[in-house]
Amino acid sequence: MTDNIPADDILEQALIWKKAGRNVAIATVISTWGSAPRPAGSQLVIDDFGNMAGSVSGGCVEGAVIQEALDIIKSGKSKILEFGVSDDEAWEVGLACGGKINIFVEKLN
């Protein structure tokens, strides 16, 4: 994973993968509440081989986001994911920072 790279570089990586014939999903933090690992606007791009660039959570929920992104690449249906301290799944995947994040995941067409 490529972490802490400028947003332009993350989107450039998505375009490189797309031009190479790969399917790509983009995950974007659309809102946060309380203590959140990444601010709104943070992005993670994932290709259909599971390669990624960027970050939406500093690692604490990225495994779950990547799995959803791979499903979205197949289905083509966008989705909003919610992770928060009161969410059992968030604890399970490691979002114990006391905050909440919403992430929009879409396939790049």
pLDDT digits (tens, 9 = 90+) for 8-52: 799 999 999 999 999 999 999 999 887 777 889 999 999 999 999
Considering the domain boundaries, does residue 100 fall inside one?
yes
Dump pLDDT digits (tens) for 59-102.
Answer: 678 889 999 999 999 999 999 999 876 545 545 555 555 678 99
Considering the domain boundaries, does residue 24 fall inside one?
yes
Q: Which residues contact 92 (CB under 8 A, 6 or more apart)?
A: none
Considering the domain boundaries, does residue 1 fall inside one?
no
Q: Which residue has the tokens 């979002």?
A: 95
Considering the domain boundaries, does residue 2 fall inside one?
no
Domain total for the chain? 1
Q: Supply the pTM of this predicted model.
A: 0.83
Considering the domain boundaries, does residue 60 fall inside one?
yes
Across the strands, what pairs with 81? 103
Across the strands, what pairs with 33? 100
Considering the domain boundaries, does residue 79 fall inside one?
yes
**16 lies in which domain range?**
7-108
Considering the domain boundaries, does residue 92 fall inside one?
yes
| 69 within 8 A of 27, measured Cβ to Cβ | yes
